[in-house]
């Protein structure tokens, strides 16, 4: 199953590869953990960086 669904091609035209990967991770985390608070999502973010950096990464992506 592709988490981006029917919008995958359109999204890939608008975002860079790293932004698409971040979007996929965020959508997956939201669907699994049922939360949308950046501070809580950042704790689950699967990157080898500190939690504060996760939060900043998510905030930058969303702006």
28-38: pLDDT as tens digits: 888 888 877 87
Give the C-alpha distances (Å, rounded to integers) separating 61 from 1, 7, 19, 28, 50: 24, 18, 7, 15, 17
- The span from the CA of 30 to the CA of 41, in Å, is 8
Mean pLDDT of 9-17: 89
pLDDT above 80: residue 24:
yes
Structural Rg of the chain based on CA atoms = 12
pLDDT at site 31: 87
pTM: 0.64
């Amino acid at each position: 199953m592709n988490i981006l669904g029917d919008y995958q091609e359109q999204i890939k035209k608008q975002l860079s590869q790293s932004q698409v990967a971040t979007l996929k991770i965020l959508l997956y985390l939201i669907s699994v953990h049922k939360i949308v608070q950046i501070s809580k999502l950042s704790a689950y973010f699967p990157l080898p960086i500190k939690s504060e950096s996760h939060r900043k990464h998510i905030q930058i992506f969303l702006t």
